[in-house]
């Protein structure tokens, strides 16, 4: 389960309003988010689950990987909100299809990823620079 604040901005994005997610990500600059990532000292492999792909049901993944998921999801829940939002935005920008990002499974991100590719939302800082 992702944290409620992130859940809200993800829900907005799924309805076509990217602004809350992009504004949240602005709180952590793209160049520095890795330094603030809660997972920076964690074993990376735990964020990649064999059964979690963009083509499967996230519900099935959560049932199947219940125990393997608890550790990485706990780390993501402890990540600062703006860092989680930045992590998710960067995953979408780079098209990271696999692994847990921003507290979302790969299977949970796939519809968001499709919408990102279609809509190509622009971050506020990029709009100011243009
Ligand atoms: S949200 Fe999770 S995967 Fe992303 S930086 Fe934070 S701890 Fe790492």
Q: What is the pLDDT, as a whole number, of residue 113?
A: 97
Q: What is the pLDDT, as a whole number, of residue 127?
A: 53
Q: What is the pLDDT, as a whole number, of residue 65?
A: 96
Q: What is the pLDDT, as a whole number, of residue 3?
A: 78
State the closest ligand 1 atom to the C-alpha of 80, by its place in the atom list counted from 1. Answer: 6
Task: Work out how many domains the chain is built from and give that number.
Answer: 1
- Please work out whether the CB of residue 109 comes within 6 Å of at least one atom of ligand 1: no
- Please work out whether the CB of residue 25 comes within 6 Å of at least one atom of ligand 1: no
Report CA-CA distances (Å) from 120 to 13, 34, 43, 89. 12, 23, 32, 11
Q: What residue numbers bound the domain in which 121 lies?
A: 4-129
Q: What is the pLDDT, as a whole number, of residue 62?
A: 95
Angle CA 121–40–22, to nearest 5: 15
Tell me, what DSSP letter sits at residue 47? G
Among 94, 128, 85, 87, CA closest to 113: 94
Q: Whose CA is nearest to atom 2 of ligand 1?
A: 76
Q: What is the pLDDT along the chain (130 residues), one digit of tens a residue?
A: 677 889 999 999 999 999 999 999 999 999 888 999 999 999 999 999 999 999 999 999 999 999 999 999 999 999 999 999 999 999 999 999 999 999 999 999 999 999 999 998 987 766 555 4
Q: Whose CA is nearest to atom 3 of ligand 1?
A: 101
- Ligand 1 centroid to 123 CA: how many Å? 20
Q: What is the pLDDT, as a whole number, of residue 32?
A: 81
């Amino acid at each position: 389960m992702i944290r409620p604040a992130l859940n809200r901005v993800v829900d907005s994005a799924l309805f076509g309003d990217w602004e809350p997610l992009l504004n949240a990500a602005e709180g952590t600059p793209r160049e520095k988010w890795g330094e603030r990532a809660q997972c920076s000292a964690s074993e990376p492999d735990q964020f990649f689950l064999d059964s979690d792909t963009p083509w499967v049901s996230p519900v099935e993944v959560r049932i199947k990987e219940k125990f393997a998921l608890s550790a990485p999801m706990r780390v993501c829940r402890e990540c600062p909100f703006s860092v989680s939002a930045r992590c998710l935005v960067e995953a979408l920008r780079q098209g990271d299809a696999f692994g847990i990002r921003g507290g979302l499974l790969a299977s949970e991100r796939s519809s968001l990823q499709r919408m990102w590719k279609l809509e190509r939302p622009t971050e506020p800082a990029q709009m100011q620079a243009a």
